[in-house]
Amino acid sequence: MTNALIASMRRAVEAAPDDVELRLHLAELLVGAGKGDDAVTHLGVVLVADPGNRKAHGLMKRAVGGAPRHPEFDWEAAENDLRA
């Protein structure tokens, strides 16, 4: 199922390359599927368009191995707690 979904998302991004949210969703799927190298390219495009995108920053860390994958842990909430 994930590979079919990723393939569909790739086609959607090809059809709408400037859709940041769509590209971000594809990158999230790629990271979740262990395809961080593929996700980095998409995340780079997202970050050029929206340099402050916190979700993209978090996914980039995961994609390059900067943070372990723990789907049940909310990394963004933890970062917010540390900032407060």
Report the 3 state secondary structure along the chain. CHHHHHHHHHHHHHHCCCCHHHHHHHHHHHHHCCCHHHHHHHHHHHHHHCCCCHHHHHHHHHHCCCCCCCCCCCHHHHHHHHHC
**Domain harbouring 67, CATH code:** 1.25.40.10
pLDDT at 1 exceeding the cut of 60:
no
Count of domains forming the chain: 1
pLDDT digits (tens, 9 = 90+) for 21-48: 999 999 999 999 999 999 999 999 999 9
For residues 66 and 1, the model is more confident at 66
Question: According to the model, what pLDDT value does residue 22 have?
Answer: 96
Question: According to the model, what pLDDT value does residue 78 have?
Answer: 80
Question: According to the model, what pLDDT value does residue 45 have?
Answer: 95
pLDDT digits (tens, 9 = 90+) for 7-24: 999 999 999 999 999 999
Domain that holds residue 8: 2-83
Mean pLDDT of 61-79: 74
